[in-house]
Amino acid sequence: MELFTITARDGDARAAVLRLAHGSAATPVLMPVASQGTVKGVLAEQLAALGVEMILANSFHLLVRPGLDVIEQAGGLHRFMGWDRPILTDSGGFQIFSLAKLCKVGEEGVRFQSHVDGAVRFLSPEDAVRCQERLGSDIAMVLDEFPGYPCEKDAAERATARTLRWAERCLAARSREDQALFAILQGSVWPDLRASCAERLAAMPFPGYAIGGLSVGEDRPTRTAVVKASAAALPEDRPRYAMGVGEPEDILPMVASGVDLFDCVIPTRCGRNGRLYTFAGTANIRNSRFRLQMTALEEGCPCPCCARTPAAYLHHLYNRDEMLGPILGTLHNLCFFQRFFARIREAIAARRFAAFAGEFLEGFARPAAEEEAGA
């Protein structure tokens, strides 16, 4: 079975089907984040009802708690969390960066103190692969060294070189034929490091590639340029994944550059905090302007809230700190991104992606511009 089949192209943008052990996913796609084995506040059947085909979990967090033995006894991560569609697991490279004070990185791997119970653990590239194989995810990621931003070029160069050595070790350690192992491209914002890393990784037999080291403080034009150059240097016939990217303004130019997979906590985190996405821009549902809005937050949205209740109800729930508010807001945001990516795929198939992107961004930015002008 072919892993990745491109079904439509519009310039460098492409629509495709990604076929994995637990089913297929249409790309481009945004994977909701389930770091701890849960998309926060949302049942697996609710995700499926929204049309979500693929999610991301984090093997680093699951290794720490509840532990691999518990998940294996349940029959693997899919059975443990009641999700029967594809799962991509990250290896922990970002957590090594974000929990740097608790980690010591060396050539053999990473020694870290658990942020949960203080226990000292060690994670090698081989351990990262074995961990994800025990979880049974459909796509596993290699262990990489995330240099952060900003960083000096020599530090980025060392991290990139180690990422390449660790990628080779991860390949040698893999044993499951039903799990795809993706490489991760590093190099910070340095074009020559990105290009050389991509060339080295492309020579290795990985079925897919991720562009890592993003969304950690760099400005949007830099982020877009890094992804464009990285995507162009990666094999054209394999999936490309921009890690940690989720704002529509970032997604559209990256799709235009040939990126297929995205993940981000934005839909769920913003849903919990009351920042809700619509095709006319984002809205702070706590704002008093929604107190008497007796129509849906977004007409035509099929999410459980918009389909049944007025925006005033959501406003009430958030402002009374009712737990249902963030749940419904999260479902709304997840539904928005499902609809957004469906329209992206339709636009690519119709060969009008550039026109769609321009129309979307004009409508999406208008409320903020009008609010600023009114101020």
Instruction: Catalogue all structural domains in the chain, each as residue range(s) with its CATH number.
Output: 4-264 (3.20.20.105), 271-374 (no CATH)
Residue 5's beta-bridge partner residues?
17
Residue type, 173: A
- What DSSP line would sit under 150-204, residue for residue? S--HHHHHHHHHHHHHHHHHHHHH---TTSEEEEEE--TT-HHHHHHHHHHHHTS
Q: Which residue has the tokens 């991760």?
A: 184
Neighbours of 124 (CB within 10 A): 19
Under DSSP, the state recorded for 33 is B
Residue 207 phi, psi (nearest 5): -80, -10
Q: How far is it, in rounded angstroms, from Cα 40 to Cα 366?
A: 30
Which of these, 69, 34, 70, lies nearest to 54 by C-alpha position? 34
pLDDT of residue 373: 45
What tens digit of pLDDT does each residue of 278-299 get? 999 999 999 999 999 999 999 9
- What are 116's two structure tokens? 């949960």
- What are 139's two structure tokens? 């796509």
- What are 263's two structure tokens? 């993940």
CA distances from 83 to 38, 171, 218, 331 (A): 10, 27, 34, 17
What tens digit of pLDDT does each residue of 129-185 get? 999 999 999 999 999 998 889 999 999 999 999 999 999 999 999 999 999 999 999
Provide the whole-model pTM: 0.95
- What DSSP line would sit under 27-45, residue for residue? ESEEEEB-TTSS-TT--HH
Under DSSP, the state recorded for 245 is -
Structural contact between residues 7 and 15, judged by C-beta atoms closer than 8 angstroms: yes
Active site residues: 90, 263
- What are 164's two structure tokens? 């390449």
- What are 54's two structure tokens? 């693929």
Q: How far is it, in rounded angstroms, from Cα 59 to Cα 71?
A: 11
Query: Would you write out the chain's pLDDT as a tens digit for each of its 375 residues?
Result: 799 999 999 999 999 999 999 999 999 999 999 999 999 999 999 999 999 999 999 999 999 999 999 999 999 999 999 999 999 999 987 777 677 787 899 999 999 888 778 888 899 999 999 999 999 999 999 999 988 899 999 999 999 999 999 999 999 999 999 999 999 999 999 999 999 999 999 999 999 999 999 999 999 999 999 999 999 999 999 999 999 999 999 999 999 999 999 999 999 999 999 999 999 999 999 999 999 999 999 999 999 999 999 999 999 999 999 999 999 999 999 999 999 999 999 999 999 999 999 999 999 986 544 444 443
pLDDT of residue 114: 80
Q: Residues with Cβ < 8 Å from 81, sequence gap 6 or more?
A: 34, 37, 38, 44, 57
Length of the chain: 375
